Every structure is written in C-alpha cells, then in structure tokens.
Amino acid sequence: MLAYADLSELSAEDTERTPFEPMARGQDVGEDLLLGVYDHVLSYHAATTMEIATALGVPSAAVTRAMRELLRLKLVRHCKEQDTFLASDPEAAETELVLPLESAIHEKRRELVAIHHQLERFSKSFKRHQRTQRTSRLVATLESQREISLRLTDALRQSTGEILTMWPVCSYETQILKDTLRLSYEAVRRGVRLRTLYPHSARCHPSFRATLQQNLDSGAEVRTSDEVQHFIIIVDQETAFLPTDSAEGGTSAVTVVYEPAIVKVLRGIYRNTWQPACVFDGSTSNGTSLNNVRNAILKMLACGLKDDVIARRVGISSRTLRRHIAAIMEELGAESRFQAGAAAASAGLIGTLGGG
C-alpha cells in the first residue's frame, strides 16, 4: 500500500531527496498556476512534477514551487515511494489548518479571562482611590478638557438612579454635550432615568431639534422651557457639573460639585424648572414652538433685558429676534419693546400670546 505524506510529515532525508524546498521571498506562486496544478492532480489521481510541468507547459521549477504551496495548504499528499502527489479534499484541508488556530485562540482567550480576573480587584481599588482623590475637594474648577471628560465619564458610568441635564441652544456642538449624550444613552440602557431640558427655541433649531428627537428615541424624558440659560448636569444625588464663568452655554471651564447639600439644592432648582416645562413628544407643531419662543421673549422684554442678552438666552440670532419683536409689537399695538413686554404682562397675556 502506497504511503502519502503532507509537508509536515516529510523527514529531513525526504526533504533532501525531493526538490520541494521552501520558497524564497519574491517567489510567490500565482493563483492560476496553483489551481492548474491542483486540477491536474485531481484529474489524474496521482502525478509527478515533470508530468504536470509537461501537461501545463510550464517550467518544472514553477510546478515545484506550486506543489510546495499546495502541500502547505494541505491540498495534496506526497507519495514517497513513487514521488507522486494525490489531491486532498479542500474542506478536510481547511479543518486541518483551522483546528490548531482555533485551539490557540481558545487558549489565548483563557489567558485573557485569567488576566482580567487577576487584575479586576486591583482595578477596582485603583478607581476607588482615584475617585476619592477627585472628590476630596467638594467643589473643583476644571480647565483641562481631559480632566473634565474623565470626571464626567466616571460620574455618568457610575450612575444608578437619575441623570438630569439642561442645555441652552448655544451649547450645540460642544464637546461636553456630545460626551454627555453618549454616556447618558449608555446609562439609559442600564435602566437609569434620564431627564433633559432645552429652551423652547430648540424645537425650531434645524440641528438641535434632531438632538431632541434623538434624546426621545433613546428613552429620555424631554421638555422645553424659557428658563434654560446655561447647561447643568446632575448625576444621582452625588455630583453636579456647571459652567464656571458667566457665559451662557458652552464654556471652556467647568465647576464640578460633590457636596451633597449643594447637589440637593441644584436638584430642587432643576425640579422647579422641570415641572412647568412643556413636554416634547416629537409631534409639536411649529406654531406651538413659535408661540413658546415669543412668550420667552415677552418675559425678558418685560424685565428690560437688552436684545443681545435675549437673543443669546433664547438661542436665536439678533435678526431673528428683531423679527419676533416686530411681530409682537404689531400684535399688541405697542410702540416700544419695553411697552410690549409690560403690556403683555399686565394683561396676563404672557403664556397665551398667539395661542388663540
């Protein structure tokens, strides 16, 4: 009975007697030649190198290199007695090649699990120590974007109860908004409650409205109010993030608060703003949104605020604000902005203007 061997079974003596040396760099065998050699062996059951070279009209050296590659791929077996080759089933060859790799992958996975378990307790200890260091100061001002991101990530990923956020329109496209949205959505999937507040003008904002809808789709509760002037992030009853300076919206510096009494007060202020706010369900008409924006403008006109302050707080341009004010004055028959605000307030129209 003839004995067939693959590449791994050829002894050193067999290798010296056969012309199938490892291929040098730059001597890659083309796929067409490999397939042609394999097809010939498959068709003739068994064949020698010279027979294949003659049949295919190629140099024997090329067939030798091809055969070496086919041996490596377990696609042929070598008969030492007759120096011929027999084709193998590609599926069997694949199994023979893949099994050692799968075994090695399985072993590496076991090593990964062992490493994870070994370091897990140390990691928890390190994070606990790190968190203690960060919270040793009950109120801290952060100017480094990396430090802001680290503390925000730590707080939101540790959240187990409720996340409260408030965003003015001018915070759109800030890094802290992007980070908070991403981490908050992760928290919602863990079962954490997310409530988020935006100004009424966000409903009409071409880009911010999509963010409101994204919040809603993620499982968050979304409302809008005319009291949103700066961002705030409150995580459970433990941590709050506030803008450090007086800029109304995105700011480079952030104040983080760990003092429970202060966080409790901030939660109370948030709830007082949340309760009368308008629910966003994704179906609010533009007319309702416009009415809410004009109500906000009226309130600030009645307070005597300047146009640039009103525009910034509402989240609209100065030109758009002037159009709103002109429409409000015409509707109320007022001759000045302050008169329009005062007239609306005295007549109890704030909250109903344009509402029919």
Measured CA to CA, the distance from residue 52 to residue 65 in angstroms comes to: 12
Helices (H) and strands (E) in the chain, counts: 13, 12
Give the per-residue pLDDT at 265. 95
Measured CA to CA, the distance from residue 239 to residue 230 in angstroms comes to: 17
Both tokens of 338, joined, read 């302050």
Contact 140, 255 (CB under 8 A): yes
pLDDT tens for 315-336 read 677 888 888 888 877 777 777 7
Report the largest interatomic distance among the alpha carbons of the chain, rounded to a whole angstrom.
113
Please state the pTM of the whole predicted model: 0.53
Give the per-residue pLDDT at 219. 92
Give residue 89's Cα distance to chain centre.
Answer: 45
Tell me the average pLDDT of the chain: 80
Q: 138: which residues sit within 8 A by CB, 6+ positions away?
A: 257, 258, 259, 262
| Among the listed residues 60, 51, 64, the one whose alpha carbon sits nearest the alpha carbon of residue 21 | 64
- Does the structure show a pLDDT above 60 at 349? no
Contact 224, 278 (CB under 8 A): yes
Q: What is the mean pLDDT of residues 298-303?
A: 76
Give the per-residue pLDDT at 12. 39
What DSSP character marks residue 355? -
Q: State residue 266 phi and psi, 5-degree precision.
A: -65, -40
Helix (H) or strand (E) holding 142: strand 139-142
- Does the structure show a pLDDT above 80 at 68? yes
Instruction: State the number of CA atoms in the 13 A half-sphere of 72 facing the CB.
Output: 12
Q: What is the mean pLDDT of residues 221-247?
A: 85
Q: State residue 234 phi and psi, 5-degree precision.
A: -120, 125
Both tokens of 174, joined, read 């800030």
Beta-carbon neighbour count of residue 154 at 10 Å? 18
